[in-house]
Amino acid sequence: MVRILAVANQKGGVAKTTTVVNLAAALSELGQRVLVVDLDAQACATFSLGLDPEDLEDTGATVFMTRDPQQDIATLITTTPDAIDLLPASIDLAGADRALASVMGREYVVRDALAPLHDRYDWILLDCSPSLGIITVNALTAADSVLVPLQCETLSHRGVGQLMETITDVQRLTNPGLSILGVLPTLFDGRTTHARAVLADLGPRYGVRVFSPISRSIRFAEAPAAGRSILATSGTSRGANDYRTLANDILAPPPPT
């Protein structure tokens, strides 16, 4: 059965897209069938996996915003060199909030559009925009669980409480089955006392599972230029192995509480 994971945090710069792309690659390495759905108008996941959003005529926005029943969503999917399937995004998604504002059942547009793809994949990873707009609410409504990347700095905590409140509202109103998979510490520099203190505070503060941190590395900045994951461009690096650890931890049974 497919598992749909939204990677969300309304704060930018916390490695959401980096997490989606590299977790997808790590799951693919383990033999999982993976689809990345880019739900950000900046289309960073699309670019990071080797496509230029400006060259694309039709993207996921075509389905989500027009809701054309004749549009076969499968025809918009591209297989990337990392053996990951991608439903790309474009700047057109920037108009989604306005386009869907008066649509009945607007919170379910992404869920309904992705339904025909469930049998094709083991994992569908949703790369959310840095906001709590209608498309992010759609992602949370479509997902089974949500992973929250969080930079190990004090300021990165700001706004996470609001995200948790949004998740609670989605659980109550549109997706009672949604769970919080956990918090993923990113951009982690274990040499600093501050980063270690923030990491130690995450579990008690949010009451959720905290995954092993993703180390800060310049390799993450280099990989998108090649249109590949860090597992492809720097496969033996610490960052690549951090995402392999995350993939194995997600596939393993959850630890006892």
Q: Is residue 247 predicted with pLDDT exceeding 80?
A: yes
The C-alpha R_g of the chain, in whole angstroms, comes to 17
Instruction: Please check whether residue 255 lies inside any domain of the structure.
Output: no
Please count the structural domains in the chain.
Answer: 1
Strand partners, 149: 184
Q: What is the pLDDT of residues 44-62, one digit of tens each?
A: 999 999 999 999 888 998 8
- Given this model, what pLDDT does residue 6 score? 98
Asked whether residue 254 is domain-assigned, the answer is no
- pTM here is 0.94
Confidence of residue 200 (pLDDT cuts 50, 70, 90): confident
* Residues found in the chain: 257
pLDDT at 155: 64
Range of the domain at 102: 3-249
Q: Please check whether residue 189 lies inside any domain of the structure.
A: yes
* 3-class SS of residue 74: helix
Domain of residue 223, CATH code: 3.40.50.300
Q: What is the pLDDT of residue 186?
A: 92
pLDDT band at 66 (very low <50, low <70, confident <90, very high): confident
Give the tens place of pLDDT for each residue, 94-136.
888 888 888 889 999 999 999 999 999 999 999 999 888 899 9
State mean pLDDT over 181-195. Answer: 85
Residue 257 is assigned to a structural domain of this protein: no
Is residue 117 assigned to a domain? yes
Tell me what pLDDT residue 24 has. Answer: 98
Residue 11 in domain = yes
pLDDT confidence band for 29 (50 / 70 / 90): very high
In a domain, 227, yes or no: yes
In a domain, 119, yes or no: yes
Can you tell me the mean pLDDT for 166-192? 91
